[in-house]
Structure 1
Amino acid sequence: MDWYSSIFELIDMRSFSNLWYWIALAVLWSTASHWVMGVPYDLVVRARRVGGQAETDLLDIVRINTNRILYIADVSGVVILALCCFLFAGLATLGFYYQVEFAQAVFLLLFPMVLVGANSLRVARNLRRQELSIEAVSKALHRCRLATQVIGMFAILVTSMWGMYQNLSIGVLG
């Protein structure tokens, strides 16, 4: 047995039966829920409780990340949208038409993150229109985090249902 076979035996390329895929899914949504618009949520909680320097830090980082997100969207948003459409059309075609399980797994990991990104862009545009205060910022970031968690719950549900279907159908047929 050569090293190539050993590696592929250790890392099962059937995505939905691989423990690493489910760990990556959990880490992805845990991270997305913690980093709301690039701001760690514990900073929001600390700024609300303690105030002072934590509040100043929160308002500064929200201002910086809001400007960064809106600059990227304004300068290269159309190109990013076109590349995402190309990528997801390719992944969906490979995965669900040609039944490539790896493409299905990547699609189910990445596509919901587009919804999270679109929600972050919407919140950034709303924050730009108003005066940044601790109440407005914490309320906006809390709602953004809640939306991310709801998207994550549905994404995990759909991914787990599809993964169970794939594992059962391959187990019966294989």
Structure 2
Amino acid sequence: MDWTGLVFETIDMRSFSNLWFWIVLAVFWSTTSHWVLGVPFDMVGRARKQGGQAAQDLEDMVRIQVNRRLFIVEQAGLWLVALVAAVLAMLASLGFWYDIELAQALFLLGFPMSLVGLLSIATAERIRERGLSGETLWRKLTVHRFWVQVIGMVSIFVTALWGMYQNLAHGVLG
């Protein structure tokens, strides 16, 4: 057996019948909902309970992450939108037109994440323009996390439905 055969046998390209894909999907969305605007969400709870230095640390972390994200958007936003749109269009075409399952799986990971990215940019802009701090900042981060989790749940549901359809239509072992 040559090395490409070994690689493709080890890394099954039939994503929806591969346990590793589902593990990656769960870890992906768990991590995404924990890191709100690049800040671990447990800092919000700590700031609520303890106040003082914990609240100041949260505000500093949010300010750094908001400024960082908005700087990237201001400098390269148009290029990023074009690149993400091109990659998603390529994955959608390869996946759903040419029936390449790996491209379908990557699209079902990437498209909802682009929505989370847009939501994060909108939230960052609101935080900076309104100068949110304290309880209003904590509420905004909690609401942002809620919507990220909603996007994640819908994404997992749609991906599971599509994966079951693919496995039934093409056979799990076929």
Task: Find the counterpart in structure 2 of residue 140 from structure 1.
Answer: 140
For the 8 Å contact 2:70–2:125, the answer to whether it is kept is yes
Rate the CA distance shift 1:109–1:4 in 2: closer, same or farther, 3 A.
Answer: same
Structure 1 position 84 matched with structure 2 position 84: yes
Q: Offset of 1:74 from its aligned partner?
A: 1.0
Structure 1 position 16 matched with structure 2 position 21: no
Percent identity of equivalent pairs: 57
Structure 2 residue identity aligned to 1:78: L
Rate the CA distance shift 1:173–1:34 in 2: closer, same or farther, 3 A.
Answer: closer
Q: Offset of 1:2 from its aligned partner?
A: 5.4
Rate the CA distance shift 1:52–1:162 in 2: closer, same or farther, 3 A.
Answer: same
Q: Offset of 1:137 from its aligned partner?
A: 1.0
Q: Offset of 1:5 from its aligned partner?
A: 3.7
Alignment partner of 1:13: what SS? coil
Q: Offset of 1:95 from its aligned partner?
A: 0.4
CA RMSD between the two structures: 1.6
For the 8 Å contact 2:37–2:120, the answer to whether it is kept is yes
Looking at structure 2, the residues matched to 3 and 88 of structure 1 have their Cα atoms a distance apart, in angstroms, of: 30
5 Å matches for 1:15-54? Answer: 15-54=15-54
1:2-35 residue CA offsets vs partner (Å, 9 max, x unmatched)? 5554443332211110000000000100000000
- Structure 2 unpaired stretches of 5+: none
TM-score by length of 1: 0.95
Looking at structure 2, the residues matched to 108 and 144 of structure 1 have their Cα atoms a distance apart, in angstroms, of: 21
Looking at structure 1, the residues matched to 49 and 78 of structure 2 have their Cα atoms a distance apart, in angstroms, of: 40
Residues 4-13 or 64-73, more deviating:
4-13
Looking at structure 2, the residues matched to 71 and 6 of structure 1 have their Cα atoms a distance apart, in angstroms, of: 44
For the 8 Å contact 2:17–2:172, the answer to whether it is kept is no
Misfit runs of 4+, over 4 Å:
1-4
